[in-house]
Structure 1
Amino acid sequence: MQREKREPVRNYKIWIVFGIIFILLNPWYFPAGGDPVLIYGVPLWALVIMGVTVLLSLHITYVIKYHWDESDEVPDREEDK
């Protein structure tokens, strides 16, 4: 039995996760000034942003796969072309 899908716009949990991810995308929580922490020559803040960007992509993929209702969309028909 398949669970009924709700539109992602109406699911507040999805928006809370998006909000947290967008807050983490801004490196405001790193200390200002001083020497930056480097890992293989790349600043730590850049690695954190790249990791959070991957997390954002995975979350968007999850929302599209498990929460997007596609039942009302019109299928592409080959015979109409």
Structure 2
Amino acid sequence: MKEPIKNYKVWIGFLIIFILLNPWYFPSGGEPVLIFGVPLWALVIILMSIVLSLYITYVIHFHWDTDEDEDIREEE
């Protein structure tokens, strides 16, 4: 059975997304960069949250065997 927990590439993807999700890399102090009145760091967090959701969906869909997959194979 294929499990994503044993695939190191999946974990590397999660690590990269979680690093980018936390905007520690933005400079502290000074004037914040605003885009349509929203700070850039907030837009980065929103964008990376969407990327995380899509990545989780991808991992579940393509890297995880579920009982439904086995039921479909048995019917064929």
TM-score range, shorter chain: 0.7 to 0.9
Question: So what's the TM-score if we normalise by structure 1?
Answer: 0.80
Which structure would you say has the larger Rg?
Answer: 1
Question: What are the ranges of 5 or more consecutive residues in structure 2 without an aligned counterpart?
Answer: 72-76
Secondary structure of the corresponding residue to residue 28 of structure 1: coil
* Percent of aligned positions that are identical: 66
Report the number of matched residues. Answer: 71
Deviations 1:3-58 (A, max 9, x none): xx620000000000000101111111000000000000000000011000000000
Question: What are the ranges of 5 or more consecutive residues in structure 1 without an aligned counterpart?
Answer: 76-81
Q: CA RMSD in A?
A: 2.1
User: What is the distance in 2 between the residues matched to 1:35 and 1:20?
Assistant: 27
Tell me the equivalent position of 2:57: 61
Flag as ranges the 4+ runs of structure 1 deviating above 3 A.
Answer: none
Structure holding more helix per residue:
2
Tell me the equivalent position of 1:12: 8
Tell me the equivalent position of 1:78: none
Letter in 2 for 1:47: L
Q: Does 1:38 align with 2:34?
A: yes
Q: CA deviation at 1:72?
A: 8.3
